[in-house]
Chains A and B, each alone.
Chain A
Amino acid sequence: MIAAYLVLLIPFIGIVFFAIAGHKTDMGKFNIWLNAVCLLATVWLAVNVLNIGTILSPNKAFLIDPFNVYLIVLTAFVGFTTSIFSSPYMAHEKELGKLTDNRLKLYYSMYQGFMLAMYLVLTTNNMGIMWVAMEGATLATVLLVSLYRTPESIEAAWKYFILCGVGIAQALFGTILLYYAAVQIGDGENALLWSVLYENAAHLNPEILQIAFVFLLIGYGTKIGLVPLHNWLPDAHSEGPTPMSAVLSGLLLNDALYAVVRNKMLVDGASHNNMAGYLMMGFGLLSFLVGALFLHRQKDIKRLFSYSSIEHMGMMTFAFGIGGPMATFAALLHMTVHSLTKSAIFVTVGHASQVAGSQSMGKIRGLIKTQPKVGWGLLIGTIAIAGFPPFGVFTSEFLVLLATMHGYPWLAPLLLLGIGIAFAGLFRHIQPMVYGDKPEGQLPVKANLWPVIIHLGLVLWLGLAIPSFLAHWFSQATLLISGSTPL
């Protein structure tokens, strides 16, 4: 349990420290160290969970179960690798004079703030705190989106702030309704505790819960980026500094989805018509298709990949909506591999745009000749995210397709269509950027590509064989969510 507190404590220290001394040189290194320690702490936590199973803190404030433990480790890991990437990136940006000291302070301390919020969302046992943390994540990142102070970035940040704020407010209303349903059967203070709610899910009033779920879905769905609530997402991703886009895509969306699924479990427990499932399927499929179509119209490389995030979140939501062991397992796996792959891609994207000195895809050309590592990284990453084996994304998409074919065959063609369109949309933009001759006056930049290599390596590993402990967690989580295991 100490591990959990440690995990929450370290980022908090980080916030304070960086707020004071964030502008000093090699703070990037320190950031890396901080995240490394955090990662170790999470690993320790994970080992505990592996040994003694689900952990509930004595004061019932924190709950670590198979569903969130691997997400915690994932969060720490992506935070760590992204900090590795952000160190040279930010240095380069500072050389270009895009950033002042204060903004650097802001950046680093809010980076930690965001991590804190993420850990809190995952570890807390209290649905209310979960909401607070989710809102906190927004508040932490909103100033990072407008870090460059360009008109576009401010516009993006404003939209991000307002839309997510309003959305999250809906979630709060949903939480209140949940609480309202809970107090009718339980005591006041503990009524919002997940552990309590999950035990008595059967006795909760289904009507209230359904209404509550609608609000929660709209609220957290805005954060997931479900169409038509997604509009903030591409703006925020494209205008902020790239490390931010990496963690937003890799972590924030996942955690929002995590929150939705937690609530779905309650609703399913309470009412046995698969209302929540259908809603999620509908939203997921819509986001999947629309995101895929949007890919075709992009000119900005980061917007491109943020739409691909929308598409993939759509697929996960759809998979969770289908329910059933296979689809759930697939969705859990997809959460992992997607955030790994997507953050890796954003790393390469960041370097690519630094090479070209622009985010517009028209200007990025011939990467493989200019800076082969970045070019290949981008290409392979895209191959992976497009769902080609032996990368893990393929595994999950394969399972989703089969589950769909099993449960809702008439939806399978839509999925097929979506994947095809998305693939075409990605590659019609990627190929010209990586291939071709080296353009004039573009020089390699200082880049640290270990994050990319590690992430893609992991995704490859997950695609070839899922390690047993992870498989164990996945199947336990599947058992929690869908009521049976695929094993």
Chain B
Amino acid sequence: MILLSAYSAVLLSFASGLLALLMNQRLMLLAISQAAFKKFNSGGGRFQTWLTGQLGEQQFPVFLKQAVFALLGLSGLFAVIAGLAVLLSKGVITDQIPLGLPWLPWHIRFDGLSGFFYLIIGIAVCAVSLYGPGYVSSYQENQHPFAALGLFTGLFVAGMLLVLLADDAFMFMIAWEMMSVASYFLVAFQHENPANRRAAFLYLLMAEVGALAIILAYGVLASFADGFTFDALRESKLSVTWASIAFVLALLGFGMKAGVVPVHVWLPEAHPVAPSHISALMSGVMLKVALYGLIRFSFDLLSEVHWQWGVVLLVLGTVSALGGILYAMMQPNLKRLLAYSSVENIGIIFMVLGLSMIFMANGHPQLAALGFLAALFHAFNHALFKNLLFLGAGILHHQTHELNIDMMGGLIKKMPKTSFLFLIGCMSISSLPLFNGFVSEWLAFQTALQVDVLDNGVLRSLIPVSAAALALTAALAAACFVKVFGLIFLGQARSRNSEKAQEVQDKGMLAAPALLAGLCFLLGIFPGIAIHLINNVAGQLLGQTLPNDSALGWLWLAPVSAEQASYSPPLVLIGALIAGCVSFWYLRRNPATAIRSAATWDCGFGGVSPRMQYSSSAFTMPFRRIFAKVWIIDEQIKKDLQGALDQDVAAVHYQLHIQDHSWPLIYMPIAQGVNTVAKQVGRIQTGNIRTYLGYSFATLLLLLWVIS
């Protein structure tokens, strides 16, 4: 039953893709459906009229799009159901599908871990399918055919779901690559502008290399086991060295997909250029699938974890978290910013995962479970609020045709609903209390604070440092998203477009973020729900759950023990409400003191213009000064002088380019290296036939000499 709904989720997403493909043959389809409709038009009157309306020439494409997204949403729904069901039943379901290699059918395994990620994907997909119809309505069919978009969206979702179901290396890789390729086509969807092409190329290249690394990682396991099924791989007994090699390969592969520094560069290129609901899926969900892969590989397939791996994860995570948020802060392009912040969040998840590994390896399974829980919970939260923010960004782009936050402003008055939802997103991502982001970060800190139990000096000193880095990250994130929200929604409009912006009309486009925002708040207040679910996962995977995750009653959160730490969001909420209401009521009771509105104080100079406001680069200028080493900053100020002796300044031009260190350090050299080598190799092909004869002659002699 559970498996059935899991399958149907996959199949439905396939179906939606195929249906979208029919967009090309829509006239034929139209004819068919009308004919079919003719047959039984004995149906009820209103329905009939509606249907005829839908089957009209103009209406039909729209109807088809809605149908496609409806199927997608259905698949999301089934995914949620399946995920919840398997999580609550704590069961492990296995199955086989007669596909794949002759001696290796596709093995299916649906357990808690898969279920949990199924849940994440399902929620995201539901939101996207609500959001989609309104969003894609702005594409012209001849310029951006919906067929391609819909088809590859379906395949993309199906690929992600299949990855979670896979129980043998072969099927895993197929699903994994299907996910990559489909998303590649989605990144390249608006291929008329070069940025998309470049991003798509980079993305697919790194996906390919990553996938190869993963294959080799499986290869290492498989060469110590018989067969590629995960059961066989679990049995493989390998030495610490080989295990570490496998782990490093897997880390490379999955890290590339997850976007860990320094292999993150595709992420800020690819996510901004894809259509927004796709970037929401990629940034919010696909990275989680990579995370799933890493967890599956290191906690499940590798028989035992070593603390050194944990340290690697910890360090990588710390670097990614700090680097990600610092780079994010400097981006004027909203979606690039969000992409970089995904790097940051993935970094945090890796950190906590590393902690969990360390505790696991040092024989504290309970603490390991705590870290694991924090990691998964943060993954879940990140999926929620990052989806929310990307969808919000999509709305903004849809309404203002801008992504540069320096071109927005004052939208809170024009788009109140959107701004409110976006605010919730910003608050959760900058981990403020009462929202889900805070809870996972709180758990992360709780994990880090348990370092006392370790004996290893390195770890004892390393973990606090990373905890400090985590704290810094959180604070920087808050600063970053204050900038985002403040510049986009507050103040005065900075451009004509945002001047004219209107609240989005389509209900679905608001419903999707609303759903996510609601979940953010809900999980912020009652984290117990999610944590209970994840606890089952931990129980299955680590064989250890948190002891009394609800010792003080379900309102409370006491991961380790009630004495050590506890947090009760509902009480806090109540307190906040009391305090707020009391002060509000107390101060507003006097009618004489009604609010009077007046012009903004302009120091008596008159006319506060939008250009006087702080811009993105101005807001982050102190950070640029403080963390100058982190970026490659190219800042140019040019003055146009005029008047006698060029004394007075007519205009000042300010240019700021901020680049990622990893480009000149890693990627450029590789590219140049390949080109140079290719050039050198090219010289063997001179075009002169005698040289060629010489080659075969020499080869012949060489071989004869070798064998005799």
Are chains A and B touching directly in their complex (CB below 8 angstroms)? yes
Report the bound CA distance from A466 to B106 in whole Å.
12
Assess the B704–A228 pair: CB atoms within 8 A: no
CA distance A421 to B197 in the complex (A): 18
Q: Given A402-B215, A465-B99, answer yes or no on A211-B689 (Cβ-Cβ < 8 Å).
A: no
Asked if A405 and B222 make an inter-chain contact with CB atoms under 8 angstroms apart, the answer reads: yes
Residue among B103, B209, B708 making CB contact with A420, cutoff 8 Å = B209
What is the chain B residue whose CB lies nearest that of A278? B706
CB pair B693–A401 under 8 Å, yes or no, is no
Chain B's interface: helix, strand, loop or mixed, by majority?
helix
Interface extent on B, as a size class? 35 or more
Select B99's contact among A424, A425, A464, beta carbons within 8 Å.
A464
Per the 8 Å Cβ criterion, residues 22-55 of B in contact with A are none
| Cα(A424)–Cα(B228), bound, Å | 28
- Provide the residues of chain A in CB contact with B170, threshold 8 Å: 395, 398
Q: Which chain B residues border A419 with CB–CB below 8 Å?
A: 208, 212
When distances are taken between beta carbons in the complex, the residues of chain A under 8 Å from B209 are: 416, 420
Chain B 151-195: CB-based contact to A (< 8 A → 1; otherwise 0): 000000000000000000010011001101100000010011000
Q: Bound complex: CA of A423 vs CA of B209, how far in Å?
A: 9
Q: Chain A residues near B191: list those with CB within 8 A.
A: 368, 435-436
**Is A431's CB within 8 Å of the partner chain B?**
yes
Question: What B residues does A395 contact at CB under 8 A?
Answer: 101, 170
Check A162 against B174 for contact (C-beta < 8 Å): no
| A435/B181 in contact, CB under 8 A | no
Which A residues between 54 and 97 are near B, CB-CB below 8 angstroms? none
Q: Using a CB-CB cutoff of 8 Å, which residues 193-238 of chain A contact chain B? A: 210-211, 214-215, 217-218, 222, 228-229, 231-232
Report if B218 contacts A (CB, 8 A): yes
Cβ of B679: which chain A residues have Cβ within 8 Å of it? 297
- In angstroms, Cα B222 to Cα A405, docked, is 9
Q: Is the Cβ of B216 less than 8 Å from the Cβ of A471?
A: no
- In angstroms, Cα B100 to Cα A274, docked, is 31
List of A residues within 8 angstroms of B215 by Cβ: 398, 401-402
Please determine whether A435 and B197 come into contact, CB atoms closer than 8 angstroms.
yes
Q: Does A148 contact B (CB under 8 A)?
A: no
Separation of A487 and B105 alpha carbons in the complex (Å): 12
Q: Which of B198-239 contact A (CB under 8 A)?
A: 200-201, 204-205, 208-209, 212-213, 215-216, 218-220, 222-223, 228
**A214 touches which of B103, B174, B703 (Cβ 8 Å):** B703
B208's partner among A170, A386, A468, A486 (CB-CB below 8 A) is: A386
Query: Within 8 Å CB of B708, what residues of A?
Result: 211
Verify B177–A465 contact, CB threshold 8 A.
no
Q: How far is the CA of A46 from the CA of B216 in the complex (A)?
A: 37
Q: Which residue of B lies closest to A475 (CB)?
A: B102
Residues of chain A contacted by B103 (CB below 8 angstroms) = 486-487
Given contacts A170-B700, A405-B216, contact A388 B181 (CB under 8 A): yes
Q: Closest Cβ of chain B: how far from A401's Cβ, in Å? A: 5
Give a binary string over A149-162; 1 marks a CB under 8 Å from any B CB, 0 the rest: 00000000011001
Q: Which residues of A contact B643 (CB under 8 A)?
A: none
**Residues of A147-190 whose CB lies within 8 A of B:** 158-159, 162-163, 166-167, 170
The interface stretch among B111-119, B373-381, B518-526, B680-688 is B680-688
Task: Produce 1/0 per residue, B443-470, CB < 8 A to A.
Answer: 0000000000000000000000000000
Contacts of A432 in B (CB 8 A): 197
| A269 adjacent to chain B (CB < 8 Å) | no
Stretch at the interface among A123-131, A250-258, A288-296: A288-296
**Measured between alpha carbons, how far is A409 from B239 in the docked complex, in Å?**
15
* Nearest CB in chain A to that of B170: its residue: A398
CA distance A119 to B678 in the complex (A): 37
Give Cα A290 to B680, complex, Å.
Answer: 11
Would you give the shortest CB distance from A352 to chain B, in whole angstroms?
A: 16
Among candidates A159, A406, A428, A474, residue contacting B689 with C-beta atoms closer than 8 Å? A159
- Nearest residue (CB) in B for A464 is B99
> B666 to nearest A CB, angstroms?
14
B548 interface residue (CB < 8 Å to A): no
A390 close to B (CB within 8 Å): yes
Q: Is A136 an interface residue (CB 8 A)?
A: no
B696 at the interface (CB under 8 A from A): yes
Q: Is A21 an interface residue (CB 8 A)?
A: no
Among candidates B98, B228, B685, B704, residue contacting A231 with C-beta atoms closer than 8 Å? B685
B residues within 8 A CB of A279? 703
Q: Which residues of A are found within 8 Å of B94, using beta-carbon distances?
A: none
In whole angstroms, what is the CA distance A167 to B689 when docked?
Answer: 13
- A228 in contact with B699 given A389-B177, A419-B208 (CB within 8 Å): yes
Q: CB-defined interface of B291-319 with A at 8 Å, one 1/0 digit per residue? A: 00000000000000000000000000000
A163 to B197, CA, bound (A): 41
Q: Give the complex CA separation of A425 and B170 in angstroms.
A: 26
Residue of A231, A232, A275, A428 ringed by the most chain B CB atoms within 10 A: A231
Chain B residues contacting A425 (CB-CB under 8 Å) are 678
- Min CB gap B569→A, angstroms: 45
Which residues on A sit within 8 Å (CB–CB) of B201?
427-428, 431
Chain A residue nearest to B104 (CB atoms) is A486
For chain A, residues 327 to 342, give those with C-beta under 8 angstroms from any C-beta of chain B: none
- A3: min CB distance to chain B, Å: 26
With a CB–CB cut-off of 8 A, which chain B residues contact A158? 689
CA distance A424 to B178 in the complex (A): 18
CB distance B696 to A229 under 8 Å? Answer: yes
Q: Is the CB of A394 within 8 A of B692?
A: no
Name the CB-closest residue of B to A428. B201
Within 8 A of A (CB), among B644-695: 674-675, 677-679, 681-682, 684-685, 689, 692-693, 695
Q: Which residue of A lies closest to B223 (CB)?
A: A406
**A436–chain B nearest beta-carbon distance, Å:** 6
Complex contact B197–A431 (CB within 8 A): yes
CB contact between A431 and one of B174, B200, B213 (< 8 Å): that residue: B200
Instruction: Out of A228, A394, A406, name the residue touching B222 (CB < 8 Å).
Output: A406
Contacts of A394 in B (CB 8 A): 173-174, 177
CA of A161 to CA of B204, assembled, Å: 40
B301 to chain A minimum Cβ distance, whole angstroms, is 15
The answer to whether B205 touches A231 (Cβ under 8 A) is no
B626 CB to nearest chain A CB (Å): 38
The answer to whether the Cβ of B707 comes within 8 Å of any Cβ in the partner chain is yes
A195 to chain B, nearest CB (A): 27
Question: Within the complex, what minimum Cβ distance (angstroms) separates A449 from chain B?
Answer: 14
Which of A166, A405, A427, A468 sits near B205, CB closer than 8 Å? A427
Within the complex, the shortest CB–CB distance from B168 to chain A, in Å, comes to 12
Taking a contact as CB atoms under 8 Å apart, the answer to whether B704 and A214 are in contact is: yes
Min Cβ gap A364→B in Å is 15
Report A-chain residues with C-beta under 8 Å of the C-beta of B703. Answer: 214, 217-218, 279
Rounded to whole Å, the gap between the CB of B264 and the closest CB of chain A is: 18
Chain A residue at minimum C-beta to C-beta distance from B224 = A406
Contacts of A368 in B (CB 8 A): 191
A338 to chain B, nearest CB (A): 18
Flag if A296 contacts B213 (CB, 8 Å): no
Instruction: Give the CA-CA distance A398 to B219 in the complex, in Å.
Output: 9
Which chain B positions have C-beta within 8 A of A465?
Answer: 98-100
Residues of B within 8 A of A (CB): 98-103, 170, 173-174, 177-178, 180-181, 188, 191-192, 197, 200-201, 204-205, 208-209, 212-213, 215-216, 218-220, 222-223, 228, 674-675, 677-679, 681-682, 684-685, 689, 692-693, 695-696, 699-700, 703-704, 707-708
Please list 7 pairs of residues, one from A and one from B, whose beta carbons are closer than 8 Å in the complex, sorted by A's number: A163-B689, A170-B700, A229-B696, A401-B216, A401-B219, A406-B223, A435-B188
Task: List 5 additional A-B contacts (Cβ < 8 Å) besides A294-B681, A294-B682.
Answer: A214-B703, A389-B178, A436-B192, A465-B98, A474-B102
| Interface set of A (CB-CB < 8 Å, partner B) | 158-159, 162-163, 166-167, 170, 210-211, 214-215, 217-218, 222, 228-229, 231-232, 275, 279, 290, 293-294, 296-297, 368, 383, 386, 388-390, 394-395, 398-399, 401-402, 404-406, 409, 412, 416, 419-421, 423-425, 427-428, 431-432, 435-437, 463-466, 468, 471, 474-475, 486-487
A-B CB proximity, top 8 nearest: A405-B219, A435-B191, A471-B102, A389-B174, A406-B223, A228-B695, A296-B678, A231-B692
